[in-house]
């Protein structure tokens, strides 16, 4: 049985998967048959229990993982269309779960100015990695309990 | 949370922090980490109910445990 928050989460996620863009709360409200204030309250409740966030000082969804509404260095391409951005390099690796059965291309620049990085994934499996030496690294703590840490 | 061409590239990054060197892992390790159901299940219509229930809490704990390896 889905809760109101489940339905709201799924509606936002489906919109991002379809268009690459998260809906504004005032756009979300009529789709759910609720008031704009209620839509905003639900978005805030969802972001309190998932590693997403609003752009500071606004009512705009900035990040709704694995995607980012604000462009990042991690471009996601599906069926030849680059509509999506991943929240970060790690969440880029989770994007293929949102496109079952599809090849998902991840393209990112090298942060040191060398040649760019390219990965292809399908249903969580690595199809291509270029170069083969790609690594992940974070200077942020992951999986911690602090409310301001990602992946809480 | 970034991807780099190689270990050497990561270590030369302007924001490299030796205290977090344990997070430097091959991309294949991070792909396996992000196979956890908390990421795989985001398409579920009841995702938040699942995430905050027994199975989701268990999967989140497994994710945290893997990060501590």
Nearest neighbour of B34 by CB, restricted to A74, A93, A141: A93
- Partner residue opposite A5 with nearest CB, options B27, B48, B63: B48
Q: How far is B55 from chain A (nearest CA, A)?
A: 15
Task: Give the domains, in start order, of chain A with CATH numbers.
Answer: 4-64 (1.10.10.10), 75-130 (no CATH)
Per-residue pLDDT tens listing for chain A (152 residues):
889 999 999 999 999 999 999 999 999 999 999 999 999 999 999 999 999 999 888 999 999 999 999 899 999 999 999 999 999 999 999 999 999 999 999 999 999 989 999 999 999 999 999 999 999 999 876 644 444 444 33
pTM (2 d.p.): 0.93
A–B interface: beta-carbon pairs under 8 A: 151
Output the DSSP codes for A73-124.
Answer: S-EEEETTEEEEEBSSHHHHTTGGGGSTTSEEEEEE--TTSSS-EEEEEETT
Of A98, A66, A82, which Cα lies nearest the Cα of B44?
A98
Both tokens assigned to A130: 């270029």
C-beta of residue B59 within 8 angstroms of C-beta of residue B38: yes
Per the prediction, chain B carries an average pLDDT of 95
């Amino acid at each position: 049985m889905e809760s109101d928050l489940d339905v709201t989460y799924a509606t936002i996620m489906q919109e991002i998967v379809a268009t690459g863009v998260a809906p504004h709360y005032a756009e979300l409200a009529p789709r759910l048959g609720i008031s704009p204030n209620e839509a905003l309250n639900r978005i805030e409740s969802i972001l309190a229990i998932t590693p997403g966030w609003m752009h500071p000082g606004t009512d705009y969804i900035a990040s709704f993982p694995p995607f980012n509404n604000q462009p990042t260095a991690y471009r996601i391409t599906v069926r030849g269309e680059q509509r999506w951005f991943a929240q970060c390099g790690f969440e880029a690796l989770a994007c293929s779960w949102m496109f079952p059965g599809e090849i998902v291309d991840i393209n990112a620049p090298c942060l040191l100015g060398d040649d760019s990085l390219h990965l292809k994934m399908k249903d969580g499996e690595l199809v291509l990695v270029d170069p083969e030496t790609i690594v992940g690294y974070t200077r942020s703590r992951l999986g911690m309990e602090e409310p301001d840490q990602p992946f809480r | 949370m970034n991807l780099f061409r190689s270990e050497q590239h990561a270590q030369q990054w302007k924001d490299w922090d030796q205290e977090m060197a344990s997070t430097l892992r091959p991309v294949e390790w991070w792909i396996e980490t992000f196979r956890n159901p908390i990421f795989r299940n985001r398409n579920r219509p009841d995702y938040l109910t699942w995430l905050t229930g027994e199975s989701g809490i268990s999967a989140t704990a497994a994710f945290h445990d893997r990060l501590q390896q």
